[in-house]
Copies of this chain bind each other. A is one copy, B any other.
Amino acid sequence: MDEQQAWLNDEEREAWLGLQSLFTLLPGVLDTDLQGLQGITLFDYHMLAMLSEAPERNLSMTDLAARTSASLSRLSHVVKKLEARGWVVRLQSKEDARVKIASLTTKGWDVLVQIAPHHVATVRSLVFDSLDDKDVKDLSRISRKIVRALDEEHWILDPA
């Protein structure tokens, strides 16, 4: 590699400090906020939200892993934990017994309905209240460019 090219220039360094500060701070604040509500993590919440939006509130474990940017082993651990709370059940696909399904229960749905307004209000106050329409579009564009570099088949790049 060309040594001149190796380092970040001033503008890149500014952007990198901004992005790194953002991902060091924001998930922790959202986590703490949710833990105070129902003892769930941001990852748990996102998983429940993805199930709630799926047809019949079911997703295969593979699709759910994609939608939560998680490995199957991490996801499996979290699904077991939320199954113990009665919010999710694991099923076998009727079409293909090898396919494992995660399904949101009525109890899980009720929990999500209860906490969603608070969580969305937090996201709005910490993220969107500070951004104008152009910022929101720019953020969509830039985040997708980076997500594509991380995983060119990531589901948000081609939502069904």
Contact = CB atoms under 8 A, between A and B. Distances in A.
Copies in the complex: 2
B146 A126 contact: yes
A147 B23 contact: no
Interface of A: 1, 5-8, 11-12, 14-27, 29, 43, 46, 68-70, 117, 120-121, 123-131, 133, 135-151, 154, 156
Nearest to A27: B23
Contact of A139 (B129, B140, B142, B151): B142
14 contacts: A7-B120, A15-B139, A18-B139, A18-B143, A21-B69, A21-B156, A26-B146, A26-B150, A126-B146, A127-B146, A131-B145, A135-B142, A138-B138, A139-B142
Contact of A130 (B46, B121, B124, B146): B146
B24 A123 contact: no
Contact of A18 (B20, B135, B156): B156
A22 B148 CA distance: 10
Contacts of A131: 15, 142, 145-146
A29 B151 CA distance: 11
Given A7-B120, A18-B156, A127 B149 contact: yes
A126 B70 CA distance: 18
